[in-house]
Amino acid sequence: MKRPAWKKRDRPLLLSLPLFCKTVFAMRIDNDPKLDFDDVLIRPKRSEAPTRSSVDLHRRYRFLNSEQTWAGIPLVASNMDSIGTMQMARSLGPEMMTCLHKYHSADDLIAFFSDETARGHAFLTVGIKDQDLEKLRRVASRTKLSFLCVDAANGYTKFFVDRVKAMRETHPDVTIMAGNVATPEMVQELLISGAADIVKVGIGPGSVCTTRIMTGVGYPQLSAIIECADAAHGLRGHVCADGGCRTPGDIVKAFAANADFVMLGGLLAGHDECGGQWVDPENRQAGMRFYGMSSRTAVEKYAGGVRDYRACEGKEIVVDYKGPVRETLREITGGIRSACAYVGAASLKDLSKCTTFVLCQRTHNTVFGV
């Protein structure tokens, strides 16, 4: 005789276990709305408006595990090979940070970090291979380091956390930034188990990134920042919002969402301080080749080609020549100052407290282009 459906619930607990596991680990849909920069604007507010020129863009941080302090304008040049150059670091410093790309030779890094001022505003970037650890050991044995960035496209693996932890053990006083991730539980894991100080947040938002197209994986960047910053700040850690800022307004939204640092790639591409991938080295007006660090171009250049089990997760484009980077920085910092004045924030520190995001369908008028 067929057993009635309700009777099946009587089965012994042990027999129900596979059903239970399937239910718990089954695909699910998160119905909470997740937002990107384009989904919001910041509401202007009546205030005893600070003048733009009086807005203080400096932040002062004490890092969770290194216990080091840092003060400056918390913008960071990305560790992409054309952006994270020593020339960029010299132009952005001492107020802003640069993540040097990981393809500088150990000798060049030793020479660079031997200059005490350079140490305060540049991260040494390493990956998580044995050869990265060896390079770190070599550079650190010859010069003092203040900032280290441990970089992997996917910061979700146990191996990644273990490597960050290993670097913390050998470098207890160095401020370690690690990533990338985009969800709070992994921010906590990297701060607690990995003993990192700053977690880099962003999976797939980058201007020359194709991860979302190739894998379908990602997390809307504004929500990623809000959720990850909340998790980090609860532990006294910090986050660096990495990727997706196309305009000064996006940078403002990232800070308003509580990012402690904002990292820039594409916005800094095409400047004199960038690495040497000009379309025509004799004529910069022809533009700069700019490619993702997981693009075919980068993989062929640095990893001897694309392995047959891998897909490229970056693309190559040409960006216009933009002259010296300080002009672009003036535009960016001008935009942040103005935003602070609009919402009545006397300093960048106050911006998120003064922010109300409003959901919108259209952020700006595109009748004459962007």
- CB 315 to ligand 5GP: min, Å: 7
**How many whole angstroms separate alpha carbon 248 and alpha carbon 255?**
11
- CB 101 to ligand 5GP: min, Å: 10
Q: Which one from 99, 209, 240, 245 is the annotated catalytic residue?
A: 209
Please say which residue, 265 or 275, places its beta carbon nearer to ligand 5GP: 265
User: Helix count (H) and strand count (E) of the chain?
Assistant: 13, 14
User: Tokens 């392995």 appear where?
Assistant: 307
Please say which residue, 93 or 266, places its beta carbon nearer to ligand 5GP: 266
Please say which residue, 145 or 208, places its beta carbon nearer to ligand 5GP: 208
Where do contacts with ligand 5GP occur on this chain (CB under 6 A)? 78, 80, 153, 180, 202, 204, 206-209, 211, 242-245, 263-267, 292-295, 313-314
- CB 344 to ligand 5GP: min, Å: 29
Within a 10 A sphere around the Cβ of 63, how many other Cβ atoms?
21
* Contact yes or no for 270/280 (Cβ under 8 A): no
What torsion, rounded to 10 degrees, do the Cα atoms 356, 360, 365, 369 define? Answer: 110
- CB 115 to ligand 5GP: min, Å: 25
Does 209 participate in catalysis according to the annotation? yes
**How many whole angstroms separate alpha carbon 72 and alpha carbon 89?**
14
Q: Quick one: which of 144, 142, 202 has its CA closest to 173?
A: 144
- CB 97 to ligand 5GP: min, Å: 13
- CB 299 to ligand 5GP: min, Å: 9
Phi, then psi, of 114 in degrees rounded to 5: -70, -20
**How many whole angstroms separate alpha carbon 249 and alpha carbon 262?**
12
Count of residues in the chain: 370
- 96 burial via Cβ count (<10 Å: 0-12, 13-18, 19+): buried
Residue by residue, DSSP assigns 9-76 as: GGS-HHHHHHHHHHHHHS-----S----GGGEEE-----SPPPGGG-B--EEEE-TTT--EEEE--EE
Q: Which residues are catalytic?
A: 209
